[in-house]
Amino acid sequence: MTKVLVSDPIDQAGIDILSQVAQVDQRTGLSPEELKSIIGEYDALMIRSGTQVTADVIAAADKLRIVGRAGVGVDNVDVPAATQRGVLVVNSPEGNTIAAAEHALALLLSLSRHVPQAHASMRQGAWDRKKYVGNELYKKVLGVVGLGKIGSHVAKVAKAMGMEVIAYDPFVSLERAQQMQVRLTQLPDLFSTADYVTLHIPRTPDTENLVNAELLRSMKPTARLVNCARGGIIDESALAEAIENGVIAGAGVDVFASEPLAADSPLRSVEKGLVLTPHLGASTEEAQENVAIDVAEQIRDVLLGLPARSAVNIPGLSAQIMERLKPHLQLAETLGLLISQLAGGQVEELEVRLQGEFSEHPSQPLVVAALKGLLSNALGERINYVNAALEAKARGIHVLEVKDDSSRDFAGGSLQLTTRGGQGGHSVTGAVFADGELRVTTIDEFPVNVPPSRHMLFTRHRDMPGIIGHLGSVLGEHNVNIASMQVGRRIVRGDAVMVLSIDDPIPPSLLATISAIDGIQEAHPVTL
């Protein structure tokens, strides 16, 4: 008989769905060794954040077909190991959308009307009406950082409340923003203009401590900040100092860089203007039920031989096909991630061109992999192979697929991605060499031959003496080690591109110095 193991507390509604097709064993609080010893008996595993599904656990799971995470994050699942074993991993990326959006709105209202402070005052026997005079949201400017599903819902409700909404999201098209009646702007302008700012972005290397002391100082002294997204996006010490010194009026924070929030956190000592909640964004009865139902239905469908709708790894492909396409999928995702950082601004169209032998491969997985890479910086762990196309559509990104079997630039064919948008376009081409090594072969039509590395720097510059040496000296002065360098050009003394593989990321201050070098037209640090 088909068996499902539920190793974390799950809403009963999810258990009831699983019970329709399988024997369900609820065994919570298992140690890693206990889980490893019994997982071989089960066809499916349903978890939340408590269970660690390691490579060792997956290796011991001889019958396992699917792991279902009742929530968004899959940090506790070794997805590559699962994929290699042909185990599907699914999550519920939308189950807590409304809960998180409503909590952000609750913090906005609580901040404006001093609800927690007034309540505490009443509990102490006081009646301080004058002390807690608040502010209305009506006709105020709300800045939404990240217009995904949660941010979009917050914007929609804020519009209904009479707020003017501005937003920053490089991956949302102007057309989509206009449909939402939201004005797109750049991040510095958003922070300096908005009366309220709400964050709805993932924590990535690019967003870690994004809201720092400098950005806080750019806000109005009457402005308020809300974070129900991910901890670590805000410099918490800088935020505490900004509120205490009157740099901003207040903040509502639900998520923290380290959780639980330390007893000696500077945020705990802020006496006014700050509302703290213990990561309650998804903690509603409805959200817990929704994620349980969503994931349980996906597990049920997979056990019945049907496709899953929110797979984190590649759905609908056999292990043999997936193994054959693995380097090509990796290339597509890498090129998508690369071009998203080169584009920098709004992407309205993505052209995926499969050239030569690439055109003989199944195209849909390659297109989806490219979209996943393109949106990874914006959506982090929320993006996967199933929802990538939907997320792109929601952001107004038009996808154009082209097959060109006549192109013979490389023996194994090549893949070219081209972005177009309000700030122009970029293109990158890559190939898979015979040994499985990935190579970037063109950047904006300039020929190169570069294996992707973790940290890279791309420049476009005038082909003139001294620029390469000057850049190398600047990097050396800032203790940035160059692992490799390549220059590509089409004509002598025209424009050229330079690609450097470096050991460490480029800090913003150094990027400004690089961009100021005479002859350098563009400079793009890239993290892959």
The residues, ordered by sequence, that sit 6+ positions from 67 with a Cβ below 8 Å of its Cβ are 44, 45, 46, 47, 53, 77, 82, 87, 88, 89, 90
- Residue 383: its pLDDT value, please? 76
Task: Indicate if 119 and 245 belong to the same structural domain.
Answer: yes
Full domain range(s) for residue 31: 3-94+287-313
CA distances to 187, 412, 458, 486, 489 from 146, rounded to whole Å, are: 10, 39, 26, 35, 37
- Residue 528: its pLDDT value, please? 87
DSSP one-letter string for 363-402 = HHHHHHHHHHHHHHHHHGGG--TTTHHHHHHHTT-EEEEE
Task: Indicate if 221 and 349 belong to the same structural domain.
Answer: no
Strands 88-90 and 66-69: parallel
Task: Indicate if 307 and 401 belong to the same structural domain.
Answer: no
- Residue 317: its pLDDT value, please? 55
- Residue 394: its pLDDT value, please? 82
Name the residue among 196, 226, 190 with its Cα closest to residue 135: 196
Task: Indicate if 133 and 231 belong to the same structural domain.
Answer: yes
- Domains contained in the chain, number: 4
Q: Does residue 308 sit within a domain?
A: yes
Task: Indicate if 401 and 353 belong to the same structural domain.
Answer: yes
- Residue 273: its pLDDT value, please? 94
Q: Does residue 281 sit within a domain?
A: no
- Residue 386: its pLDDT value, please? 61
- The pairs formed by 272-275 with CB atoms below 8 angstroms and a separation of 24 or more are 272/117, 272/243, 273/111, 273/243, 273/248, 273/249, 274/240, 274/243, 274/250, 275/107, 275/110, 275/111, 275/116, 275/250, 275/251
What number of other Cβ atoms are within 10 A of residue 50's Cβ? 12
Which stretches in the chain have pLDDT values below 70?
Answer: 314-323, 345, 381-382, 386, 407-411
Task: Indicate if 77 and 206 belong to the same structural domain.
Answer: no
Q: Residue 402: beta bridge partners?
A: 353
Distance CA(155)–CA(157), nearest Å, equals 6
Question: Among all residues, which ones are annotated catalytic?
Answer: 230, 259, 279
Task: Indicate if 222 and 117 belong to the same structural domain.
Answer: yes
pLDDT in tens, 285-337: 999 999 999 999 999 999 998 877 788 876 555 555 666 778 888 999 999 99
Task: Indicate if 219 and 346 belong to the same structural domain.
Answer: no
Name the residue among 326, 526, 338 with its Cα closest to residue 432: 326
Name the residue among 207, 253, 202 with its Cα closest to residue 227: 253
Task: Indicate if 134 and 102 belong to the same structural domain.
Answer: yes
pLDDT in tens, 7-56: 999 999 999 999 999 999 999 999 999 999 999 999 999 998 889 999 99
Residue 425 · residue 346 · CB < 8 Å:
no
Name the residue among 83, 38, 53, 47 with its Cα closest to residue 65: 83
- Residue 296: its pLDDT value, please? 96
Q: Which of 383, 418, 451 is the last residue of a domain?
A: 451
Task: Indicate if 249 and 321 belong to the same structural domain.
Answer: no
